[in-house]
């Protein structure tokens, strides 16, 4: 779906409504305006990053993102990321023809340039995730332990939790004349967005080896630097549309906030992406078990390959933590109870600043006050992984991401997109091919592909889905450029820390006395 960017404020607009920029969460016309529920968020609540590749034996620093234990026993002495990026965006309500990617019309017309799922019997949701992986390095201290430094800039947005009739009220010719003289309610709905830097320091090691197995564990401690954060949530709202220009709100509270830096957002946007402001602490922790029957009952063999296992399973909890922000002085929670509400009066206006819009809403409704700070939680998730080695070139893996902070108690958070992925893959040290099959909590299924040639990785978890669908409502793409020690060493398999194992002998380590 084509969007238009206001570079001065990092807004993305669709039919005049703004999405996904750091400041989008305070565009409260999502709740009140004609296109308020078009939750097309450019950047996914965090889903699985670099899908299909993150469980690879050659993932290196990219495996650390989903489970820090994966770095223990890495096949090469070092692994350096030059640059990488992953973008995942989707929603359940709005779709558009693929032609918009190449030919954007001057104005968008419903049922021509975009389509709404007006008859769905489900809650409508939107999400985004984007990250840029900046220079990072993994270093294998020895065959059992590794350390890593990771620098990422990340964005996560989540929104929705509204019924389809409410989405239609706001999304179809707002205020939808079909709802005149009808009572409507929103128990709870909201949107939140977060952009932050992440400096991670990881340690992983083999903690136990048996005749047929190996246990590995790892932890990542993160220094977080917040760039932009905001949220808006409506609770217990009941209202009635008396006419196209008049409504009555009988109950409801609006909770909203954004960090004070957004009041002074600079252009170009890069000026705002500062490290070591709004600092916080985060962590990932993980464990992996590898079943290695080829050890033949003699224990660990000398020079074992990193992929010399029949299967492995792993679990990790990622993105534990939060960042504390100072709230803009103009922010305050609002009681929405009011007679004679004119819907057009509370829409966001073109070229209106955040402060101007917030002050106008504060004057229109009844301020309730709020704290001067707020905490934006990271999208904490439980990751479960299984990987089966077919013949040391062909593998099949399964990966589940389960959101742990998707409840309704804390409105100032983003949350992970719960999903399940199965990926068959073919790998050698110079080449890899991946075909991820993914289904998310909304029942959306995707088929993608990825390819690795030497230092370059490129792929998408939705490429085949997008190619064969007439209308698109979600998309993913990723790319990475990285180097490892094998690319600078001679020898079979590129050399490196772990040499090729002689399967015929399969000899245990011999100690000389």
Summarize pLDDT for 222-271 with one digit per residue, the tens.
Answer: 999 999 999 999 999 999 999 988 999 999 999 999 999 998 887 777 77
Residues 6+ apart with CB under 8 A from 383: 66, 67, 286, 314, 315, 316, 317, 318, 399, 400, 401, 402
Number of C-beta neighbours around residue 351 at 10 A: 8
pLDDT of amino acid 413: 73
- Classify residue 493: in a domain, yes or no: no
pLDDT of amino acid 264: 86
Averaged pLDDT for residues 309-323: 95
- Classify residue 195: in a domain, yes or no: yes
- Classify residue 21: in a domain, yes or no: no
Averaged pLDDT for residues 149-172: 90
Averaged pLDDT for residues 420-439: 94
Q: Is the pLDDT of residue 95 over 60?
A: yes
pLDDT of amino acid 480: 95
- Classify residue 17: in a domain, yes or no: no
Averaged pLDDT for residues 69-92: 92
Domain count, the chain: 1
Give the residue, 84 or 158, on which the prediction is more confident.
84
- Classify residue 57: in a domain, yes or no: yes
Secondary structure (H, E, C), 214-241: EEEEEEEEEEEEEEEEEEEEEEEEEEEE
For the full predicted model, state whether its pTM sits above 0.75. yes
Q: Which segments of 244-367 are extended strands (E)?
A: 246-258, 279-291, 311-326, 334-335, 338-341, 366-367
- Classify residue 235: in a domain, yes or no: yes
Summarize pLDDT for 376-386 with one digit per residue, the tens.
Answer: 999 999 999 99
Residue 230 in contact with residue 25, Cβ under 8 Å? yes
Averaged pLDDT for residues 488-493: 62
pLDDT of amino acid 70: 94
pLDDT of amino acid 470: 86
Among candidates 432, 378, 405, 314, which has minimal Cα distance to 64?
314
pLDDT-derived band of residue 507, with 50, 70 and 90 as boundaries? very low
Averaged pLDDT for residues 278-287: 96
Domain with residue 176: its CATH number is 2.40.160
Is 107 exposed, middle or buried (CB count within 10 Å of its CB: 0-12, 13-18, 19+)?
exposed
C-alpha 455 chain-centroid distance: 24
Give the residue, 102 or 243, on which the prediction is more confident.
243
Q: Which range, of 198-212, 224-238, 349-363, averages the lowest pLDDT? A: 349-363
Residue 187's domain comprises: 45-298+305-487
- Classify residue 428: in a domain, yes or no: yes
Q: Quote the tokens at residue 59.
A: 């993932």
Summarize pLDDT for 174-189 with one digit per residue, the tens.
Answer: 888 898 999 999 998 8
- Classify residue 37: in a domain, yes or no: no
Top-ranked range on mean pLDDT: pick from 28-42, 51-65, 220-234, 303-317: 220-234
């Amino acid at each position: 779906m084509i969007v238009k960017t206001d570079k001065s404020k990092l807004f993305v607009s669709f039919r005049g409504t703004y999405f996904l920029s750091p400041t989008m969460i305070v565009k409260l016309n999502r709740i009140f305006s004609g296109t308020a529920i078009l939750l097309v968020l450019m950047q996914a609540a965090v889903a699985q990053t670099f899908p299909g590749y993150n469980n690879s034996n050659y993932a290196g620093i990219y495996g650390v993102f989903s489970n820090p234990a994966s770095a223990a026993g890495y096949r090469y002495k070092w692994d350096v990321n030059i640059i990488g990026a992953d973008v995942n965006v989707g929603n359940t309500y709005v779709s558009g023809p693929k032609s918009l990617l190449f030919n954007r019309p001057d104005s968008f017309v419903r049922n021509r340039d975009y389509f709404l799922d007006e008859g769905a019997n489900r809650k409508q949701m939107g999400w985004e995730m984007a990250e840029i992986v900046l220079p990072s390095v993994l270093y294998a201290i020895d065959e059992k332990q590794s350390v890593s430094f990771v620098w990422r800039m990340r964005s996560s947005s989540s929104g929705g939790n509204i019924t389809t009739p409410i989405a239609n009220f706001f999304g179809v010719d707002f205020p939808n004349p079909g709802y005149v003289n009808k009572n409507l309610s929103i128990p709870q709905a909201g949107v939140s967005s977060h952009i932050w830097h992440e400096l991670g320091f990881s340690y992983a090691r083999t903690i136990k080896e048996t005749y047929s197995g190996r246990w590995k564990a790892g932890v990542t401690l993160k220094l977080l630097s917040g760039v932009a954060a905001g949220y808006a949530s409506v609770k217990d709202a009941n209202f009635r549309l008396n006419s196209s220009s008049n409504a009555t709100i009988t109950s409801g509270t609006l909770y909203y906030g954004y960090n004070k830096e957004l009041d002074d957002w600079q252009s170009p946007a890069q000026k705002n992406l500062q490290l070591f402001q709004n600092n916080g602490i985060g962590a990932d922790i993980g464990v992996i078990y590898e079943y290695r029957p080829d050890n033949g009952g003699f224990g660990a063999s000398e020079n074992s390959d990193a992929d010399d296992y029949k299967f492995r399973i792993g679990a990790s909890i990622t993105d534990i933590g939060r960042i504390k922000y100072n709230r803009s002085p103009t922010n305050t929670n609002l009681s929405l109870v009011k007679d004679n509400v004119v819907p057009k009066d509370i829409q966001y206006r073109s070229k209106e600043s955040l402060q101007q819009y917030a002050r106008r809403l504060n004057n229109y409704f009844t301020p309730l006050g709020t704290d001067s700070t707020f905490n934006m939680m990271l999208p904490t998730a439980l990751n479960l992984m299984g990987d089966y080695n077919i013949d040391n070139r062909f593998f099949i893996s399964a990966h589940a991401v389960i959101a742990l902070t998707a409840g309704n108690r804390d409105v100032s958070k983003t949350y992970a997109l719960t999903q399940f992925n199965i990926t068959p893959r073919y790998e050698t040290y110079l080449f890899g091919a991946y075909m991820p099959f993914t289904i998310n909590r909304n029942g959306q299924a995707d088929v993608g592909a990825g390819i690795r040639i030497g230092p370059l990785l490129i792929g998408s978890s939705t490429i085949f889905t997008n190619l064969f669908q007439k209308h698109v409502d979600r998309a993913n793409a990723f790319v990475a450029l990285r180097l490892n020690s094998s690319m600078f060493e001679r020898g079979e398999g590129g050399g490196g820390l772990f040499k090729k194992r002689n399967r015929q002998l399969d000899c245990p380590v011999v100690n000389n006395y």
